[in-house]
Amino acid sequence: MTLGIVVSLFGLGTALVLLFTLAIYAVPIFVGLTVGMWAFETGAGVIGAALVGLVAGVVALFAAQLLFASVRSLALRAVIALLFAAPAVVAGYHAVLGISALLVPSEAWRHVFAAIGGLAVGVSAAVQLAAFAGAGAQPRQVTVVPPDAEFTEGAGPHQPRLPSPSTARLPAPSSGSRG
């Protein structure tokens, strides 16, 4: 009996970890399934529909990441993140509702746990989108400027490049009293 409970909890934990990890793929999967079903209904066949759906899902994911990374407006970024997080919230809500039916007898508490779980999965999807988009972002351009002549006077290949004493300037002491 105890082993069954431990195995069940391990399985539920694994399902929740997968849910959090795969939350960002809710929209691309939806796009891929929708386009694949459309392709099948228009006569592409099973293999053609699967390929078209797979390509559409991958394009949707990368387009969202590229758009999120290139947009600088926080309002537009929030809208893009919301578009990805909303389906993840719904999927997370229903997944946690189904899992909690195994462990929680009260219907009201199941919905409370499902709402909390759905919100957590949605936040996870938004954070993953931001992380994926940030990982592919281009670094800022750095301009390399040659050192000033005053810092290189008399410096050989093995000597440190410090300002010469003739060009070093210290602030003049103030002669007035502060009051």
- The answer to whether residue 48 scores a pLDDT higher than 80 is yes
pLDDT digits (tens, 9 = 90+) for 67-83: 888 888 888 888 888 88
pTM over 0.75: no
Report the Cα 94 to chain-centroid distance in Å. 23
* Residue 8: half-sphere exposure toward Cβ, Cα within 13 Å: 9
Q: Which two tokens stand for residue 56?
A: 């559409």
- The answer to whether residue 52 scores a pLDDT higher than 70 is yes
Report the Cα 171 to chain-centroid distance in Å. 49
Q: Which structural domain, as residue segments, surrounds residue 126? A: 16-135
User: Which of 27, 105, 14, 111 has the alpha carbon at shortest distance from 64?
Assistant: 27
Distances (CA, A) of 129 to 72, 90, 113, 126, 138: 15, 17, 24, 5, 16
DSSP class of residue 27 equals H
Distances (CA, A) of 145 to 85, 142, 148, 149: 44, 10, 9, 12
Q: How far apart are CA 114 and CA 96, in angstroms?
A: 5
102 located within any domain: yes
pLDDT digits (tens, 9 = 90+) for 98-141: 888 877 888 998 899 889 988 888 888 888 877 776 654 544 55
In this structure, which amino acid lies at residue 19? L
64 located within any domain: yes
82 located within any domain: yes
Contacts of 30 (CB under 8 A, 6+ apart): 87
57 located within any domain: yes
177 located within any domain: no
Rounded to 5°, the CA angle 154-155-158 comes to 145
152 located within any domain: no
Q: What is the pLDDT of residue 142?
A: 52
148 located within any domain: no
Contacts of 15 (CB under 8 A, 6+ apart): 95, 99
113 located within any domain: yes
Number of domains comprising the chain: 1
